[in-house]
């Protein structure tokens, strides 16, 4: 019997709460039933959105998340804890055949005491957003919810077991998702291959075969695409946009952007304002 998609279950489990649940797939795991919208693969809640709005906050958040992901991939053990901003999150790796197939994130939870004070300090004048977070949700509760998702993900992966060629497709889609969510970092083929436990040359070769460009070229395209979105849709300073999109500095950002778009980031923004 066909299973319903993973996103439908996530929406059901979040209903009536302020929880935010996300799942990130790794390796060649995944199929159509496991497909998730962008908002279900990242930290997407009012508090997290605000805390990531500044360049320093954005770097702090993604550095913390990357460390947590690395820990989960290495230990293959579930754990909970506070992020650098004081938001509580529970991470549960789905381990299949000794490999981490996916990471389940149960977040947007708040605790009392000093942790609450730390978060309030980061929120500044926006402490009203504390009301958008889930209170009184214990780690035991989060673990039970993650176990439900773990069981469901395993069922979906068994039911939609891909053929050999489709496994490569799933791998590349997972790599592309990881790149999009980690573009702020100094990524490269070696780093991505290490995260996904694949040989660097093999991963680079099949990525180029299926995507039509190298991992480095794809990363640059993603960074520039995101930069265009931020330039046209926000008032963020160019220096902050450069940082958010993973460029080492404004000079490099200007060169890369002009090489692709034939105008500087500032000129591009002015053109968007006139349209």
Indicate if 148 and 229 belong to the same structural domain. no
Going by their DSSP bridges, the two strands 134-135 and 99-110 should be labelled as: parallel
Confidence check: pLDDT of 259 > 60: yes
The whole-angstrom separation of Cα 118 and Cα 85 is 7
Last residue of a domain, one of 110, 138, 161: 161
Confidence check: pLDDT of 160 > 60: no
Query: Please, are residues 181 and 42 in contact by the beta-carbon 8 Å criterion?
Result: yes
> What mean pLDDT value characterizes the chain?
85
Instruction: List pLDDT tens digits, range 14-67.
Output: 999 999 999 988 877 877 778 888 778 777 788 988 887 766 777 777 778 878
Is 203 a member of any domain?
A: no
pTM of the model: 0.71
How many structural domains is the chain composed of? 2
Is 118 a member of any domain?
A: yes
**What average pLDDT does this structure show over 145-167?**
77
- Pick left, alpha or beta for residue 106 (phi over 0 → left; psi -120 to 50 → alpha; otherwise beta): beta
**What average pLDDT does this structure show over 150-174?**
73
What pLDDT, on the 0 to 100 scale, is given for residue 268? 93
- CATH number at 261 reads 1.10.10.60
Token reading at 257: 């952007």
Confidence check: pLDDT of 156 > 50: yes
What pLDDT, on the 0 to 100 scale, is given for residue 34? 81
Is 226 a member of any domain?
A: yes
**What average pLDDT does this structure show over 162-180?**
72
Is 235 a member of any domain?
A: yes
Give residue 257's domain range: 221-274
Indicate if 99 and 235 belong to the same structural domain. no
């Amino acid at each position: 019997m066909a299973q319903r998609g993973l996103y439908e279950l996530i929406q059901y489990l979040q209903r009536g709460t302020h929880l935010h649940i996300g799942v990130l797939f790794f390796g060649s795991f995944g199929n159509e039933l496991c497909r998730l919208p962008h908002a279900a693969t990242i930290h997407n809640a009012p508090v997290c959105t605000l805390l990531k709005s500044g360049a320093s906050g954005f770097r702090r958040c993604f550095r913390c998340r990357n460390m947590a992901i690395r820990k989960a991939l290495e230990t293959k053990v579930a754990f909970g804890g506070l992020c650098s901003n004081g938001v509580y999150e529970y991470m549960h790796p789905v381990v299949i055949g000794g490999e981490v197939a996916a990471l389940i994130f149960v977040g947007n939870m708040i605790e009392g005491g000093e942790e609450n004070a730390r978060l309030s300090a980061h929120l500044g004048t926006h402490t009203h957003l504390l009301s958008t977070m889930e209170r009184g949700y214990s780690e035991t509760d989060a673990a039970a919810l993650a176990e439900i998702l773990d069981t469901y993900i395993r069922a979906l992966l068994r039911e939609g077991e891909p053929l050999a060629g489709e496994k490569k497709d799933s791998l590349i889609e997972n790599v592309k998702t990881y790149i999009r969510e980690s573009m702020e970092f100094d990524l490269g083929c070696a780093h991505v291959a290490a995260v996904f436990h694949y040989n660097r040359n093999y991963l680079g070769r099949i990525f180029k075969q299926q995507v039509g460009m190298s991992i480095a070229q794809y990363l640059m395209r993603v960074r520039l695409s995101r930069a265009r979105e931020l330039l046209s849709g926000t008032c963020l300073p160019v220096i902050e946009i450069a940082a958010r999109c993973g460029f080492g500095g404004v000079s490099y950002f200007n060169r890369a952007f002009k090489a692709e778009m034939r105008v500087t980031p500032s000129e591009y923004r002015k053109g968007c304002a006139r349209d």
